Structures are given as structure tokens and as C-alpha cells.
Structure 1
Amino acid sequence: MAESKSLKQLKRERMTAKQRFSRLANSVMKSCKKMSADELMEAFNKVVLDADKVLEANEEVEIAWLEELEHVSTPKESMRDDIKRTVEEREQKLDDVEHFVQKVLWGNFGNSELTVALEAAEKECKRLLMSQPGLKLEVYELMLNHLEGLVKAAKEAVFRWSRWISDAERPDFQQRMRNIESLLPELISGKADLLQAKLEHNGSSDATLPPSPAIKLRPTALPRFDGNRRNFYLWKKEWEALQKQGEPTGSKEVRKFQLLDSLEERVARELRLPTYGTADEIFRVLGNRFGNKSAIALEIVEELQALPPVRGHQPRRVVDMIQVVEKALYDLSELGNTGALRNPLVTKSLESKLPENLKKEWLVCSAGEEEVASPEGRFDMLLKFLRSQEKIYEQLDQLRDDDSSKRERKIPQKHARTKATNSLGFQASCIVCGERGHRKKLYYCKKFKTLRVGEKREAVKKFGACVRCLEIHDGNAECKTTFLCKNEGCKDAQGLGHHYYLCPKVGSKEGDPRRLRPSPARAEGKRYTESQEEFLTSLPPDLAQRCRNVFCNSVSKTFSLTVPEQGLLAENDLKEFPVIMMILEVTANAGQKIGTLIDLASDTNYITHEAAGELDLRSEDVTLIVHGVGGMQVTVQTKRYLLKIRILWIGGGGTALGLLVSLGVVAVDVEIANLGERR
């Protein structure tokens, strides 16, 4: 359950965000002249993201400060000025960076690129208009297609640099683009005039165009190379075959431009391939960079040896492993170096990765032919055996129980998949006051804060905002519970609660959660400490009862009635704190049942080597020094394991992934009846 942060902690987080934003902004302004256009745009997008984080941190500080005002009679005006100053400094810094980046981008890159694109389209338009009367239809079609390509390139350049064009030059570039677009339809209609003239000249003015074919095949594009050297020779073989069929004339210029179009822009830019004259020279450069057959073969073998072993009953992983081996053999066959895969060490490594049941079948199958087979031929035997098992394990995977109730819940995605947001400076205005800066967060709107409770609820309902966090979002994945109303009497039937801005009892001290109500367990004679009571009141009823059953040291103790004196703790004015211990049976992803002892008073996690091996955990060797009484030291050689856990948040908050560092032990030397024979 999320805990509220103090105002001091929120101010510290805001200071950290401001420092990160300032460092990044200063770094961009200092080194922007050395960056390329794409790098500079990406760096500016990162600055914008950090600026948004500063604004969000400042909003949380303001909300926490407003919450404290309810308990303070004389508010500090200096805090209000500090929040306002933070917003102004953020806006000023962001404007300075944007102005500096715009000056560098437009002066060094955008002006020349956009000017060249527009001039090329304008010249081709004038040339086609002047040459139209004396051209043949075929020549006119060729020139018109070329013009359409130039117009498309000009539009893309205008779109790319529309944000960075200086205000003084923006109207001129927009007008030139509109003129080009207005001429294009007129030139396209000229094609119909030439076609009509050709038909009249041939004496077939009533003839119709040839009928379109009944079946239209989709055009096939040449394969693209993305810089993966493992696919270099296969790509080269397919590209040369398709290019020869698509361009039978063998033009060197066409072959060069088709080759450049088939390469990723990153590869062509890094190797400066457009500067070479022919396709053969480009292939030579590509071969030097990506065509080292020995390095490719070594990479394939290392990938095979890095495959994780298959443990337990996992048919899908067995099938994936077989397909990886087949793909590796195919790639090495294209290189003419299958001997690297038939190495006895590689074969032994693949055998060790098989599951125990499949490994036993393989040993039985190879026992009869082991004497006649050579060490290199053992790989062929293994591959033949795996291919015979692939269909069986594919069917086993399809027969597995796919009960939806047993499937793991997917963690809701909370971040975008793109590396950076390609924003054009657009910021949504507030839906209540119309101001920019706080987007769809109603709790930051000054006009919203001044409304009465009923008007606030109407605004929230009208615009579809969340009543818990006052933000407009989809679902509960991003809902913040930090500023929920703490009045117990305001909770609805579902126990969802609402934001304290929407509370009709603002200022009332009744229902303060800090005034704890006695637990039902007190009426039954069993008493708990104040910390236990506070912990139990924050849980659902069923989970609270389960925790009561496992508390091992409640305050209530049984004393002898014949002894009138006070207890030992009461005599010495001591207090015993609660220690919660639970014995649970945890289910792993593969279905194993693992006995677990949870002790919240422990500062170290332990796991047996046997359980870690069954879960296939990542580990490393460590040396521990155990300090005892009187300066005694004991050195222990063990392993440190990395254990992945899934945390289920209470109240429908979803799940989260976590990592535990655990030390390996041989066995847990304690007898617990509930654990039985489980680890």
C-alpha cells in the first residue's frame, strides 16, 4: 500500500529533478554545435521530458503544502513564492534551450535542406510547363513521376523542419509550398490531353484503355539489410537474384540507387556509402565490415553455447532450442563452415542443455551407434534425433493445460515503447480554466480549487476524471492514492475512497484515521500492540484475519494467577515489539511447490542450494565472514542467488516485479511441523 510522503521528502525530490534538468539543459547548450540534426532533436526531447518531471514534482510539493495548511493556522507565504518561482524558472530555462537549439538546427541544417528541396521541385515544375506541348506521352509520364517524387520530398522536408523554421522566413516557405501544390494538379491533367492527342493521331479516338488484369500481384520490394552480419550473405544472395529480375538492363546507376535504398539509413550513414560510385564498391565496403565468415561462425557457435539449459517439463523451450540449432546449421551451411558446429565440444554443450527425460532417450538412442560414429558425426546423429522429437514436443505443448485462471497476470505497461516523444511543442490546455501547463490534472487547476464541493464533483463527472487522483486517465494502472481522503465516514460501499478536494467534511476532525478504533479482537480478550492495530485497520477483513492468526507475540500473555506481583516487563518498564512470522507454500512459474518461512525481523534472505537449482536461479560465488562473540570470525564459501518475485499490491493495485538477493545454504536446521518435508 502506497504511503504518503512528507513535504520535506517531496521538496528533496523536486530539487533532484531541477538539478537533473539544469545539468541536461546546460550540456545540450554547450555541445549542440557538435551534434547532428537527429542527435540534437533527440537531446531536446529529453530536456522537455526532464522539464515535465520538474513540473510534476513541483505539483506534488504544492499539494502536500496545501494539505498541511489545514492543520496550520498561519500559512507560510514563502512556500507559495517558492512554488511559483520554480514554475517560472522552469519555463524560462526551457525557452532558452529551445531558442538556442532552434538557432543551431535551422542555421546549420534546416535552412539549406528545405531550400534545396523546394528549389528542385520549383525548377522541375517550370521545366515541365515549358516542355509540355512538344513532348510525347511516355516522356511526359516519366517527367511527371519524377516531379511527384520531388514534391513528396519537399513536403517531407517542410514537415520535418516546420517547428524549427524562423518566424521571419516561415510565411515565405509556406507560400512556395502552396504554389508547388497548386501547379501539380494542372500538370497531371496535361497527361490526359497528350493521351487524347495520341489516340486521335492513331485514328482510334473511340478506343478504350486496355482492361485491367483480373488478378493484381502485390509489388515485391528488394530485401533490406539492417546491419546484422549474420544475415549478410543470405541478404546479398537474395538481393542480387531479385534485382537482376527487376532490372534486366543491368544499368550501373540504377543498381547503385536500388542498393542504397535497400540499406538501413544508419548503415549507409556510418559507412558513407552514398559517396561511392558503383554498387560493386558498396558491396566491397559492406563485405569488409560485415562479411568476416570466421567472426560470423564464431558468433553463431557462441550463441548456441549461451543457450540456457531446459529444466523440468517445458515442451515449448525444447522446440525453440531445436529450431535455433537448425537455424545455426543453415547459416553455417551458407558460409560453407559447418565444421564449427560439428565440433565435439559444441555437441557436448548441446547435450548438457537437454532436459533429463530427453537426455536419457538420446543416450539410449545413441548407445548402439556410438562405436561406429565418429566424433564429428555425433552432431548429425543428435540433430536427426532432435528433429524426430520436434513434432512430439510441439504436440505436447499444444496439449498443456491453458486454463485462464492459472495464467499469470500481465503487468500493466506504464511507459511508452518509443525511445523519445516526437512532440511539436503541443501542450493540452486545462479543461476547466483553459490555461496551459498542468494538462489534464485537475488538482493543479486554481479555478478548480475555488469551486464548491458540489461543483467540483460535477466537473469531475463531466470530464471523466478519476475521483481518487483527479487525473484523466484510462483504468486504475496510473491512479495515485497518495492524497485520498482520510475520513473513515466518507468511504463508499466499494471502499475506493475519493480525493480530499472532494471531501464534504473538509476541516472536520472526525474520522481521522490516526484515531484508531479498537480491533474486534480486543473484545474477545486477545489484545495487540498499537502498531499491530494500525497495521490491521489498513487491510481488508479477510487478509486482516489471516494476519491475526499468524502474530506470534501479541501483548496479551498468560500469567500465573497465584502470583500477585507485576510481570517482568512491567517491573522493568520494557515493551515487547511485534514480530510477524508466516509459513507459506509458494508456487513457482514452472509449477514447483516451495516451502517458505517469512520472518519480517530477519535482515538476510536464505535459500537452499537444492531449491535454487530447481528454480534455475542466476548465482555467483561469494566469501562470507561471520563475526561472533569475542572477536571470533568464521569464513564461509557459498553462493549468492538472484531471486525474482512478484508483489501483489493490496486493494487492486496490480502487480510489480522485484528482486531478492539470497545466500545459499545446504539446509535449514530447524524443525517446523507445518513445513513437513518441503524446503
Structure 2
Amino acid sequence: MVKTADELKKDRTVAKRPFSRMANILLKTYDNKSVLELEDGFGNLTQAAERVWEANDDLEARLLEDKESEVGAEEAELSDQQKADLVKTAGDCEETLKEVRRLLQNVLWVQNGEHDVLTALQVAEVESRRTGAVDVNSRLEAYEFMLGHLQDLAKAAKVSFERWKRWTPAKQKQDIQGRLKDLDQKIPLLVSRKMDFICEKMKEDQRQVTPVFQNLSAPVIRLKPTSLPKPKREARSDPRHARTRATKSNDVPAGCVVCGDGKHRKKLYFCKQFWALTPADKNMAVKKLGACERCLELHDGRAYCKPTYLCKHPDCKDQRLPEHHYYLCSNAAPRGGAMPKRSEYQKAGRNGYTANQEDFIRKLPPELAKQC
């Protein structure tokens, strides 16, 4: 339903009443209201002013339509009285709103917002100068802590300004925005400065390492006549002495290292449990006892070592493995834990000696050969 001009005038009057009432309440009671109440009151007043302006515009449109229907669209024009009434209504509403805003700005900004914003901004600027003045010889961790703290302070200053931006005077608003912009430009430069700390730390580490090597002098070796190397003797093709650890009474275990039997504590080849071990476990038992790998017996390094049971497996010869007892052979390990047969590992000559050993015995004097 289209309203007439008189009905629209009544609507405008209805809209002006709450606007005027709210403006008068804020102007008279602002000292007794909190910051939140004042902000809410001004927000409601702004909405009421918008309703007045909307009703005034509707009335102006209705009056123009009535004129157009009377004289035509080209000659339609409002009277001076109608124009003055419309301008006065809009102007009075705008002026009242500005008056209330100036009052609240003085209360909210001067008494509250200005202190909060400027304090947060000043703290961030001071921290920015302190962070930039840190010497590159300081610890990088401390610089990173200060940098993170500065970023938090800058963020807090921005939040505070956004909170009070509505009530900030135009001149101060421009100044604060410029200072916040300077902070935003300095922080990335301070972050990039971390590279200077890293480079300085690398240089310091290099300076600490270099003197250590410079102070090292070549050792002077003084040889005594008795320490000169002796001529090496020609290696024997068939050594008779095995290199084992020197045996002492306190080094010999009380029992066999495998089964604990004291009867063969120095001779592993008598241990039936030793026969059933894998080649790897046998080698570990030999090392634990410190026994000879050629005869599986614990004896002095100068003692005579019988080579009767040396392994003669072809694969061991091809691999050029050190001489070892045929119980320790890994190339022909028996299955099921049975004791290996000697015939499978070696070909013995007379009295169980190998061909090389027999040749060596024949070259010995008769009295020594009889002892073999």
C-alpha cells in the first residue's frame, strides 16, 4: 500500500522521537556509564539516526511524485518550504549525532583509549630498539627470544589500536598508523639479522679450533741403540708354537668354560658339550678361555703345540684361512651336534703328522726326532 505524504510525515516524526530521547539520555548520563554502555548507547543512537534519514528520504520522494503528477516530470520541483523542512530534519539529526560523538570521544579516547594505545605502541618501539642493539657476539637463542617478544608486543599494539580506532581523533590516528607501519618494516629486517649471529658463531668456532692445531708440535723421537729393529728371521713354513695368552694360576678357570667340569678345564677338545656347539659358539668358547685355536688347549706361548688335528678342508685352503682345529671348521660343520670325524677334514701321515711336518721331522737330528 502506497503511503501519502502526510502519512510519511507522521512516520518521520515517529522516527525522530526515539532518536532525540536517546541523544538526551547520553548527553546527561555519560558520566555514570561504563565504556561498554557508552559504546552500545552510541551504536543505538546511530541506528536511530539512520531511521530518521530514511524516513526523510521517503517523504522527499513522495512529495516529488505528487508534483510530477500535477505539473509533469520536467517541471516538477519542491517548494522552498518543503526543501527547507527536509534539509532541517537531516541537518538537525546529523548535528546531534556529531555532538554526542564529540562528547563520547573525549570520554572514551582521552580517558581510556589514548593511554592504552600509546602505551602498547611505545613498549613495542622500545623493545624494537633493544633488539636491534643486541651485539652479534651474543647468543643466538637470546636474540631469538627477544625477537619473538617484540613480535608479540607489535601484535598487541595493533589489537589495541583496532579496539579504539573508532574514537581516535583524525590527527592522532594518522600518527599512530605511521608508527605501526614503521614497526612492520623493522621486524623483517631484525629477523634477517639472525644470519649475522650465525656467521659470527661460525667464525668464533673457527678461531677456537685453529690455536689448538697451531700449538701442536711434532713429537721428537729419540732412539736408543738397544731399541733399533733387529733383522727379521726367515719365517718358518710350519710353526710349532701357537700364540696364546700367558697362563697364570689366577687366570685358569676353576672349570670348563662350557660345561663347568674341572677335569678338562684347560682342554676344550675333551668337552662333549663343546662338540655339540656351532662353529661360531666354539670360537667364542676358545676366545673366552684364551686357548690355542690349533690344538684347543690352554698352554704357555712357548709350549709345544701339536698340529695333529689341524683342519685340512679344501675350502679353508682356498680361502687362505688361518690354521685352526678341525672342530672349529665352518666350511664343513657337522649337523645334529655330532662330533666331526677327523678323516673328513685332514689327511694324516704316519703318527698323525702331515706331509710337511714329516719332512721337517726327517731333517731334525735323530735324538730330537725320537721325541716327536
Normalising by structure 1, we get a TM-score of 0.28
Structure with more strand by fraction? 1
Normalising by structure 2, we get a TM-score of 0.50
Q: Which has the larger radius of gyration?
A: 2
Structure with more helix by fraction? 2
- Whose RCO is larger (CA < 8 A, sep 6+)? 2
